[in-house]
Amino acid sequence: MQARIPKSAALAALLALLAPVLAQAHDEAPGLPTVTTALSPLPKSPTLDVSSLKINKPAKLVDEEAFREKDVWGRIRSGYAIPDVNNDLVAKHINWYATRPDYIARTTARASLYLFHVVSELEKRGMPTELALLPFIESAFNPNALSSANAAGMWQFVPGTGRDFNLKQDAFKDERRGILASTDAALTYLQRLYDMFGDWQLALAAYNWGEGSVQKAIKRNQAAGKPTDFESLADLMPAETRNYVPKLQAVKNIVANPQQYNLSLPAIDNSPYFTAVDKTSDIDLTVAAHLAELSVDEFKALNPQFKRPVIVGGEDTKILLPKENAEKFHINLAQWSKELSTWSTHKITSARESIRSLASRFHTSPEVIRQANNIPQNSVLKAGSTILVPKLSASVNTNIGAEVADNATVAFEDERAGKSAAKGYKQAKAGKSEKSSPVALVKARVPRDAAKSKNHRKTNH
């Protein structure tokens, strides 16, 4: 294991590495319009009494013994409970990981933000703690990962399964990417699969392949008088599923004894990295980051579910902040004299409303409207669309209603061909802009080579 590095020294080293990358990301980052007015410097003031400010503290673990571990890796090891697999596929994947220490370093750096929360939730439910390593296989702990099957987030939910587990997907947010919501949904789903099959290896296969497919494979082997454990069913599975449990076993073995494979794992403090803060009104994403004294990239790494430049939602909407930044957020919020949100919505009632005319009406540029609403160049809005527009003075103190956010859609068509280009908000596609994803740039809890950090989607090596 690597020696623990003081947070101040680690942060200084990381920021030095990130400087050129962050500058590039600022130029390429999509979806956020250029801020036309500078945010006011945060005032320096005497320490305020924040005892009355409402911050949601992480719940105490059911098992207080967990806090005796030196770091989160120790907690994971102590809770291993899924029977081991030992076959050629496991050896193959161990070799793949062991020969790629840079990949291990990037992935564990991302995981350092989220692992404490995931392990705590598993322990509360009495579930095997090696399940905390599953996002290593699914998404390399990238909450912005998107597969070719449109599975999104750290736990890789497809849209339909996400809705089955109450993960909201609307114009303003996609909870499949949210750390709290997606983790709760994934663990609920995994427990349901275990209850269905009575076997964690089959539950994992069903998580990847679908419960119906696993049930059919079981029935086929039963009819042939064959065993129905994971390895006995493996020949009936697609290659991805056949490799799924062995991949997790490979990561499990590495975490159990990294030195055996000439690897090292960064020390991750056995304490919460973030806390949840209540959001009481609409707030621009850039303003929220500013008040928390975080970069937009750092803020988005903990709050990747928010898709638009303004965070809307009801009383249950929360934002996640590193513990040390949550107090700063409340102090700065109490002294903030400007509007928290500069955005409102406008419903297109006529095809005659062009983006250029809308820009003139709302005192902005066509490019700002296109960026805020993910509208491609050479496209025109269709009647019925609800788009984000800058607030006018008459709507300064109004919030975007939850019913508007829940039902807003954007439809546009090619300006020249007149053919529909898309309906609804587009999901992010792989491309140049993905290379500057916030999760690759966030301040990790451990040092890493940030200049080489890249997004990693679900891989089948």
- CA 359 to each of CA 340, 355, 362, 397: distance values in angstroms, whole numbers, following the listed order: 21, 6, 5, 21
Mean pLDDT of 9-28: 42
The dotted CATH code for 343-418 is 3.10.350.10
Q: What is the pLDDT of residue 401?
A: 86
- Residue 53: pLDDT band (50, 70, 90) is very low
Indicate whether 90 pLDDT > 80.
yes
Given this model, what pLDDT does residue 43 score?
A: 52
pLDDT category at 394 given cuts 50, 70, 90 is low
Could you state, in order of their start, the residue ranges of all structural domains in the chain?
31-57+272-340, 64-269, 343-418
Answer whether residue 11 shows pLDDT above 80.
no
pLDDT band for position 393 (cuts 50, 70, 90): confident
pLDDT above 90: percentage of residues in the chain? 65
pLDDT of residue 398: 86
pLDDT recorded at residue 405 = 85
pLDDT exceeds 60 at position 188 = yes
Name residue 283's amino acid.
Answer: I
Query: Which pLDDT value is given to residue 444?
Result: 58
Residues marked as catalytic: 138
pTM for the complete prediction?
0.78
- Give the containing element (helix H, strand E) for 248: helix 239-256
To the nearest 10°, the Cα dihedral for 319, 324, 326, 330? Answer: -160
User: What pLDDT does 407 receive?
Assistant: 87
Q: Which of 330, 257, 307, 329 is nearest to 410 (CA)?
A: 307
Query: 182 pLDDT exceeds 70?
Result: yes
Most confident segment among 1-15, 24-38, 230-244:
230-244
Task: Determine the topology of domain 64-269 in CATH.
Answer: Lysozyme (1.10.530)
Q: What is the mean pLDDT of the chain?
A: 82
Question: How far is the C-alpha of 361 from the C-alpha of 355, rounded, in Å?
Answer: 10
Instruction: Look at residues 422, 281, 412 and name the one whose alpha carbon lies nearest to residue 344.
Output: 281
What confidence category does residue 411 fall into, taking pLDDT thresholds of 50, 70 and 90?
confident
Q: Do domains 64-269 and 343-418 have the same CATH topology?
A: no
